[in-house]
Chains A and B, each alone.
Chain A
Amino acid sequence: MEVLREKVEEEEEAEREEAAERAEWARTEKMMRPVEVRKEETTLTQETLRDLEKKLSEIQIPISAELPAFTKDTIDISKLPVSYKTNTPKEEHLLQVADNFSRQYSHLCPDRVPLFLHPLNECEVPKFVSTTLRPTLMPYPELYNWDSCAQFVSDFLTMVPLPDPLKPPSHLYSSTTVLKYQKGNCFDFSTLLCSMLIGSGYDAYCVNGYGSLDLCHMDLTREVCPLTVKPKETIKSEEKVLPKKYTIRPPRDLCSRFEQEQEVKKQQEIRAQEKKQLREEEERLMEAEKAKPDALHGLRVHSWVLVLSGKREVPENFFIDAFTGHSYSTQDERFLGIESLWNHKNYWINMQDCWNCCKDLIFDLGDPVRWEYMLLGTDKSQLSLTEEDDSGINDDDDVENLGKEDEDKSFDMPHSWVEQIEISPEAFETRCPNGKKVIQYKRAKLEKWAPYLNSNGLVSRLTTYEDLECTNILEIKEWYQNREDMLELKHINKTTDLKTDYFKPGHPQALRVHSYKSMQPEMDRVIEFYETARVDGLIKREETARTMTEYYQGRPDFLSYRHANFGPRVKKLTLSSAESNPRPIVKITERFFRNPAKPAEEDVAERVFLLAEERIQLRYHCRDDHITASKLEFLRRTEVDSKGNKIIMTPDMCISFEVEPMEHTKKLLYQYEAMMHLKREEKLSRHQVWESELEMLEILKLREEEEAAHTLTISIYDTKRNEKSKEYREAMERVMHEEHLRQMETQLDYLAPFLAQLPPGEKLTRWQAVRLKDECLSDFKQRLINKANLIQARFEKETQELQKKQQWYQENQVTLTPEDEDLYLSYCSQAMFRIRILEQRLNRHKELAPLKYLALEEKLYKDPRLGELQKIFA
């Protein structure tokens, strides 16, 4: 630092000039290349020129054309507070310190670009970047974590590119303005995000550095959409069971090992070939997807946020790109270099080489070799500072002629000039500008909407494409919110045309998943249910044109599976809707779980009702120590024997295989009873199948209705949208208002104007009180009389006018046109009406006036202020 001071003292002027020169030179050099190109162009022939022109005209500049300019002309600065328009002395001081720092820096590192220290704000006032950060903790719990915070910033603001992609902007607006207009460049984004992150306790920094083209233009078309990435299946490492002492030896393997080896070799070859092909394919694809080389690679200025580990349980440092809200490792190759970084307390310059992007950077801000800090005394200083620093800064002070000794040691960053960041709940809910946002990913497009913006509750849609140009749609996923039918996600696969609806718990039919191709009944479809919400424990029902399969769980009768085959529908002449004419059932198969209360040989595992053949097949569960299971088959073919007697039961009607033959099962009576029981069960099962069919129809009908209506639910806590509560609240307010008015009226003070004549605060004497009362009463009397007079006067006026009109009519009666006559007549009737009303009013007044007078008198007697009066009467 000693050296630094000397240098500053001696060579300051010269160095500055030199630096300026160098900067000039650098700029000219940069300019040189395009100039050369232009020169070459002039030498081109006319043809090529025309060709070029044509080509150039084809090229579109999408970004600059689309995005509206965000300049200070459009900003209304009149309403901004004073701190935005002026600098406090402390800020002035800070700016001077910064200037000095900048001078020293450019002196020491003449080959580096000038620092981004104090850009102008929206009021054209230079402000130090650290004071533009306004740490704020948002009142929304959703914004407490960095990921949701970053996502919010990226959703909330619209991106505007930097005016010059190679330089930091000249202006840096406050977050207030940025939030108001909902757009900004990368510096605005990262300033806002950094403010929010610091506010919620992260160790976050704004970074001024260099990024790749995609990063700077918020171009996600080469990124895989995070929603399409399937979570990697964690391969469960199979626990190798240690062979126990008495584990049996496997049977001897009698295969030829040589043959096996040959086989394996062959397999491997084939696999290797396949792999190679695959890899080639992949490479080809990768090649196609790779970005064109960027001419300005490494020079594009970008700003993002760095979060250091330590606070809020962040395990390691990472970057957040405020444009997209994605987090990146500090090793990511899209971040090409760091110039400087700052938080609300200090400013650091990166002194490390960025030849290998940011991969080798060490983010130990306390290390003054790697990071040159601007202000002393922040908590990041890890290395002990010696007196040299003190004296150095003192000298700086001397140079700046501030002459204040105590300014040195820890010059605190002044408080931010920015107003507290505020986001209204409406804006927070709407999120994206106008509630809509579209993001283009690689082979995918993501659209987002604010809740309640779409009448069907759609909040986001992800369209996945087959090709890079996004023309062939592969599948569409739509997410819904606040739907009354609890629809959560709709997934349409365009290749198979299969639609799948996912529901949240709470659908009236307990639907969970519904996948189908068409809404027509008796087509291929699978419906899954929330089985806990259903009484019958149904989990899943699959339907095809001819079958229906149901899966159950947790039933007291241990039914687990029911499969019904249908025959072709018998044509009926009358109504043939699916409801009135059910398809004939050919076969019902039912399977049961093991009922632990019954012995295995009596516990039915599967029963098949072959309705067409009148056959019933039973298969029992297998006993623990057996490999075969008992079977039973009932036939009911002939009902009448040769003599015409009804055959009840014959031994050949029941074919059985029993693992352990038992005596009682051979009995005809037992078999008869079993068969009767099964017949009843068959009837029940048929009924069940029929009911299931009906239920399917009902579900489909309900789904169609719901789709058509797509009503949204509104929480009772949502005061804004809940119409009912709003009405109620408004009514309550109105009532309150009226009540208030009435109260005001009753509080009207008759005595006030008379009391005002008397000196205030004194107790009235009796005489005064009497006079006051008399005055008040006489005044009131006068008013009543006046009112009566007024009515009288109006009455008279009306009558006079009417008389005049009548006179005029009688005089001119002959010459009048019918229209005029009509006019006259209508006037007459109106006037008569008015006169009548006035007359009534007068009468009423005459009646009421004495009463009113008496009432006032009564009131005055009771008035506490005229207490003296009462004494007489008391």
Chain B
Amino acid sequence: MNRLCDLMEPRVMDDDMLKLAVGEQGPQEEAGQLAKQEGIVFKDVLSLQLDFRNILRIDNLWQFENLRKLQLDNNIIEKIEGLENLTHLVWLDLSFNNIETIEGLDTLVNLEDLSLFNNRISKIDSLDALVKLQVLSLGNNQIDNMMNIIYLRRFKCLRTLSLSGNPISEAEGYKMFICAYLPDLVYLDFRRIDDHTAKLAEAKHQYSIDELKHQENLMQVQLEDEQARQEELEKHKTAFVEHLNGSFLFDSMYAEDSEGNKLSYLPGVSELLEAYPDKFVIICVNIFEYGLKQQEKRKAELDTFSECVHEAIQENQEQGKHKIAQFEEKHLSSLSAIREELELPNIEKKILECSADISELFNELMMLEMQLVEQLEETINMFERNIVDMVGLFIKNVRSLMAQCRDLENHHHEKLLEISISTLEKIVKGDLDEDLPDDLRALFVDKDTIVNAVGASHDIHLLKIDNREGELVTRIDSWCTHLVDKIHKDEIMRNRKRVKEINQYIDHMQSELDNLEYGDILD
């Protein structure tokens, strides 16, 4: 196609061009005069039309943060770019350009209508972020692979699609294929899909679609399972006892313990190792359950606290509102009285009264606020004490349970040492019946070696237990301090905001009164 624009000079999207366009397309008549007077800020523009301007490169659009509709059709754009900031965009028209690949649309999550008609696109791609897409126009492009359609299945809102003028539209059964694979589609190539066609298409491609659906379902189920698992873990993490509801800790103890694994082949150790993990796991599960319970308790405590605080604030606000309403009623009547008053001394007297009223309101509101601050402080301190106590108790109990773990480990260690030494003695005496693996036999060189080996295994085990305990304690401590800090900070913020609000209101009232004064004096 020979286009006129090919002959013309490409233009750059500079400030002047944008300003011109905005001015042309902005409000008209009276409002237009105002707009001109004030100047339009790009941020406020909601729709922009930049067609037939020989633009080669999209640029300078980053200021249009709130843009909803952008038309860039009939230019010579070659690459989709510079649209990252336009996250509110709903309508994007890039038809009649020279685009070759779909790209640069990953931030436009609100996009509903996308037109890429008459470009040079050969593959439908990179549209994943456009979850709200309803209308997609890809006619007159170079899409030649039918499998591109399957990519479009992920857009649940897609209702209108145009693909005519592509190589695939020449293919046999093109329409049937699309109808079958996109059953929610209503319009294809500017025509409504009638029920009859939809049914035929469904029947034709039933098997392949069923298979596809099955796969998709499987994926979905997997995803959901994964999510559920993640959620569960998240829940445990908030209780600080994740991975304690099984043999995870125990397994990790032996994971890095080469000596321990070697020693397990000693005669008698296997029996020892049978009972040991069970006992260990029981304690772990105890910790886990205790942790969950404590978490519930903490949550309940926190809920009660925030509910009470919320109630208190609400009540205080109601009182404040009531006071203001009362004041406003009075103030309004006195203002109108001032306006009607003719004699200057009287006016002054009334104005004085008014300002006295205002300051009184200020005092009342501030008193309310101070009162609330005091009450809340008391409550917050009480809560802080309680929650710190609770956490302390939790830590203490967890420590004692962990100590049990350690006891078990010590016990196991003694037993193991005993067996090892007796085995060593046997080896020294030479009356060992069983065969030992070579690497294990290497340990039984002398007493120091074997004791060291057993000791190393023991040390690793203890280290693991200590680490787990330390992690738990630090995390819960930091949670606690964070929580308390946040509560304090929130309260301070609230207080500042309220004080600011009151001041602002009072200032406004006062300035209104002052204006009135000046106005009167001027009159």
Which A residues have a C-beta under 8 Å from some C-beta of B? 244-249, 251, 622, 625-628, 648-649, 655, 657, 659, 664, 667-669, 672-673, 676
Which of A246, A251, A659 lies in contact with B382, CB distance below 8 A?
A: A246
Nearest 9 A/B pairs, CB to CB:
A627-B320, A246-B308, A248-B375, A248-B312, A628-B505, A246-B305, A657-B508, A648-B30, A669-B34
**Which chain B residues lie closer than 8 Å to A673 at the CB level?**
27, 31
B38 touches A668 (CB 8 A): yes
Interface contact A245-B504, CB-CB below 8 Å:
no
Docked-complex contact B378 and A249, CB < 8 angstroms: yes
Chain B contacts with A in 7-29, Cβ cutoff 8 A:
27
B252 within 8 A of A: no
Give complex CA distance A659, B320 in Å. Answer: 15
Are the C-beta atoms of A672 and B320 separated by less than 8 Å? no
A628 CA / B375 CA spacing, docked (Å): 22
Chain B positions within 8 Å of A668 at CB level: 34, 37-38
Alpha-carbon separation in the docked complex, A37 to B44 (Å): 111
Residues of B within 8 A of A628 (CB): 324, 501-502, 504-505
Determine the residue in chain B with the shortest Cβ distance to A659: B501
Contact of A625 among B312, B317, B504 (CB under 8 A): B317
Asked if B498 is at the interface (CB within 8 A of a chain A CB), the reply is: yes
* Distance of B102 from chain A, by nearest CB (Å): 34
Bound-state CA distance A667–B34 (Å) is 9
Q: Are B31 and A247 in contact (CB under 8 A)?
A: no
Q: Kindly state the separation between the CA atoms of A613 and B302 in the bound complex, as whole angstroms.
A: 55
Given that A246-B309, A248-B379, A251-B375 are known contacts, is A672 also in contact with B497, CB under 8 Å in the complex? no
Question: How many of B's residues come within 8 Å of A, CB to CB?
Answer: 41
In-complex Cβ contact of A672 among B30, B307, B502 (8 A): B30
Complex alpha-carbon distance, A466 and B494, angstroms: 61
Q: Contact between A244 and B497 (Cβ–Cβ < 8 Å)?
A: no
- How far apart sit A625 and B27, CA to CA, in the bound complex (Å)? 36
Distance to closest chain B CB from A632 (angstroms): 12
Which of A246, A625, A659 neighbours the largest number of chain B CB atoms within 10 Å of its CB? A246
Q: Once the chains are docked, how many angstroms separate the CA of A649 from the CA of B27?
A: 15
Interface centre among B34, B494, B505, by most A CB within 10 Å?
A: B34
Closest B residue to A657 by beta carbon equals B508
Contacts of A245 in B (CB 8 A): 301, 304-305, 308
Given contacts A248-B375, A248-B378, contact A627 B317 (CB under 8 A): yes
Nearest CB of A to B484, in Å: 14
In the bound complex, do residue A244 and residue B375 qualify as a contact, i.e. CB atoms below 8 Å apart? no
If A649-B34, A657-B508 are given as contacts, then 19 extra A-B residue pairs at C-beta distance below 8 Å, sorted by A number, are: A245-B301, A245-B304, A245-B305, A246-B309, A246-B383, A247-B308, A248-B308, A248-B309, A248-B375, A249-B375, A251-B375, A622-B321, A625-B317, A625-B494, A627-B498, A655-B512, A667-B44, A673-B27, A673-B31
Report A-chain residues with C-beta under 8 Å of the C-beta of B40: 669
When C-beta atoms are compared, the residue in chain A nearest to B35 turns out to be: A669
The 7 sampled A-B contact pairs (Cβ below 8 Å) are: A246-B305, A249-B375, A625-B494, A626-B501, A627-B321, A628-B505, A657-B505
Chain A, Cβ-Cβ closest to B367: A251
> Within the assembled complex, what's the spacing in Å between the Cα atoms of A633 and B505?
16
Q: Are A244 and B508 in contact (CB under 8 A)?
A: no
* Complex CA distance for A524 and B311, rounded to whole angstroms: 43
Residues of A within 8 A of B304 (CB): 244-246
Query: How close is B143's CB to chain A, nearest CB, in angstroms?
Result: 40
B291 to chain A, nearest CB (A): 23
Task: Indicate which residue in A247, A625, A627, A667 contacts B324 across the interface (CB closer than 8 Å).
Answer: A627
Rounded to whole angstroms, the CA-CA distance of A71 and B301 in the bound complex is 86
Give the residues in chain B near A251, CB-CB below 8 Å. 371, 375
User: When chains A and B are docked, how far (Å) is the Cα of A730 from the Cα of B320?
Assistant: 78
Q: Does B449 contact A (CB under 8 A)?
A: no
CB distance from A840 to the nearest CB of B (A): 78
C-alpha spacing A183/B309, complex, angstroms:
74
Q: How far is the CA of A667 from the CA of B379 in the complex (A)?
A: 45
How many whole Å from A734's CB to the nearest CB in chain B? 57
A319 CB to nearest B CB, Å: 54
Of A626, A659, A664, A669, which one neighbours B27 at CB under 8 angstroms? Answer: A669
B421 contacts the other chain (CB 8 A): no
Which residue in chain B gives the minimum CB-CB distance to A628?
A: B505
Question: Within 8 Å of chain A (Cβ to Cβ): is B206?
Answer: no
Query: CA separation between A627 and B368, bound complex, in Å?
Result: 12
Instruction: Output the nearest chain A residue to B368 by Cβ-Cβ distance.
Output: A627
Cβ-based interface call for B363 (8 A): no
A676 to B372, CA, bound (A): 43
- When distances are taken between beta carbons in the complex, the residues of chain A under 8 Å from B308 are 244-248
- B288-318 vs A: 1/0 string, CB under 8 Å? 0000000000000100110111011100010
- State in angstroms the CA–CA spacing of A647 and B161 once bound together: 50
> In the complex, which residues of chain B have a beta carbon less than 8 angstroms from the beta carbon of A626?
317, 501
Contact B375 A669 (CB under 8 A): no
How far apart sit A246 and B375, CA to CA, in the bound complex (Å)? 10
A-chain residues with CB within 8 Å of residue B375 when the two chains form the complex:
248-249, 251
Q: Give chain A nearest CB distance to B418 CB in angstroms.
A: 54
Complex contact B38–A669 (CB within 8 A): yes
Measured CA separation A668–B38 after assembly (Å): 8
Most B CB within 10 A of own CB, among A245, A626, A667: A245
The residue that B31 contacts in the complex, of A625, A657, A659, A669, with Cβ under 8 A, is: A669
Q: Which residue of A lies closest to B511 (CB)?
A: A657
Q: Which of chain A's residues have a CB closer than 8 A to the CB of B307?
A: 244, 246
Residues of A within 8 Å of B365, CB to CB, are 627
Q: Are B321 and A672 in touch, CB under 8 angstroms?
A: no
In the complex, residue of chain A having the shortest beta-carbon distance to the beta carbon of B323: A627
User: What separation, in Å, do the CA atoms of A625 and B309 have in the docked complex?
Assistant: 13
Interface string of B193-231 (1 = CB under 8 A from A): 000000000000000000000000000000000000000
Bitwise interface map of B from 494 to 523 toward A, beta carbon under 8 Å scored 1, else 0: 100110011011001000100000000000
> Are B309 and A664 in touch, CB under 8 angstroms?
no
Does B261 lie at the interface of the complex (its beta carbon under 8 Å from any beta carbon of A)?
Answer: no
Structural contact, B497 and A625, CB atoms closer than 8 A: yes
| Minimum CB–CB distance for B508 against chain A, Å | 5
A657 and B503 CA atoms in complex are apart in Å by: 13
Bound state CA distance, A672 and B502, in angstroms? 29
CB distance from A296 to the nearest CB of B (A): 67
Residue of B nearest to A673 (CB): B31
Name A243's closest neighbour in chain B (CB-CB): B308
**B126 part of interface (Cβ distance < 8 Å):** no
Give the residues in chain B near A657, CB-CB below 8 Å.
505, 508
Verify if B33 is at the interface (C-beta below 8 Å from A). yes
Question: A664 — which chain B residues lie within 8 A by C-beta?
Answer: 44
Residues of A within 8 A of B305 (CB): 245-246
**With contacts A251-B375, A627-B324, A657-B508 known, is A648 near B33, CB below 8 A?**
yes
Question: B164-182: which residues lie under 8 A (CB-CB) from chain A?
Answer: none
Q: B376 contacts the other chain (Cβ, under 8 Å)? A: yes
CB neighbours of A672 from chain B (8 A): 30-31, 34
A676 vs B382: C-alpha distance when bound (angstroms): 55
Residue of A nearest to B32 (CB): A669
Query: How far is B511's CA from A655's CA once the two chains are assembled, in angstroms?
Result: 12
Nearest to B509 among chain A residues (CB) is A657
In whole angstroms, what is the CA distance A628 to B324 when docked?
Answer: 8
> Which residues from B are CB-within-8-Å of A667?
38, 44
Q: Which residues of A contact B320 (CB under 8 A)?
A: 627
Within the complex, what minimum Cβ distance (angstroms) separates B313 from chain A? 8
Query: Please, which residues of chain A bring their CB within 8 A of the CB of B31?
Result: 669, 672-673, 676
Shortest B302–chain A CB gap in Å is 10
Nearest Cβ in chain B — how far from A641, in angstroms? 13
Q: Kindly state the separation between the CA atoms of A667 and B498 in the bound complex, as whole angstroms.
A: 27
Contact of B379 among A246, A622, A655 (CB under 8 A): A246
Q: Give the CA-CA distance A225 to B438 in the complex, in Å.
A: 111
Which residues of chain A are within 8 angstroms of B38 by Cβ–Cβ distance? 667-669
Query: In angstroms, how far is the closest chain A Cβ from the Cβ of B502?
Result: 8
B309 to chain A, nearest CB (A): 7
Q: Which residue of B lies closest to A664 (CB)?
A: B44
Which residues, 358 to 415 on B, are CB-close (under 8 Å) to A?
365, 371-372, 375-376, 378-379, 382-383
Whole-angstrom distance between the Cβ of B387 and the nearest chain A Cβ: 11
Residues of A near B35 (CB, < 8 A) are: 669
